Amino acid sequence: MPNIKPVSDLRNYGEVLRDVAIGSPVFLTKNGHGRYAVLDIDEYKEYEKMLAWRKLQSDLDEGRHSGEKDGWIPADEVRAQLEARHRG
């Protein structure tokens, strides 16, 4: 069951933080509506990794689609383009 508290409970933030655990964030409401989520830092780091993975997967899918649509570039040509970009 979600742990939901009014943002005014932050006056005693120690009690709010005591309820935060991995897999158990505390959701804070403002004027009766969800506004903030307080999560364990390790869970937040995993969230960031998941977002980065989704972005990478999207970029890879886009590249694959482009190759299928417009044709593939030979590996030696890709290598030359990357080396030229790296040089300058």
pLDDT tens digits for 23-71?
999 999 999 999 999 999 999 999 999 999 999 999 999 999 999 999 9
pLDDT the model gives residue 1: 80
Total structural domains within the chain = 2
pLDDT the model gives residue 2: 86
Distance CA 38, CA 18 (A): 11
For the chain, give the mean pLDDT: 94
pTM: 0.68
pLDDT the model gives residue 88: 67
Work out the number of other CB atoms within 10 angstroms of the CB of residue 30. 11
Percent of the chain at pLDDT > 70 equals: 99
Average pLDDT over residues 81-88: 88
Among 31, 7, 5, CA closest to 19 = 5
Judgement on whether residues 58 and 75 belong to the same structural domain of the protein? yes
- Full residue range of the structural domain in which residue 13 is found: 3-39
Judgement on whether residues 77 and 57 belong to the same structural domain of the protein? yes
Distance CA 80, CA 43 (A): 41
Judgement on whether residues 33 and 59 belong to the same structural domain of the protein? no
Judgement on whether residues 81 and 56 belong to the same structural domain of the protein? yes
Helix (H) or strand (E) holding 88: none
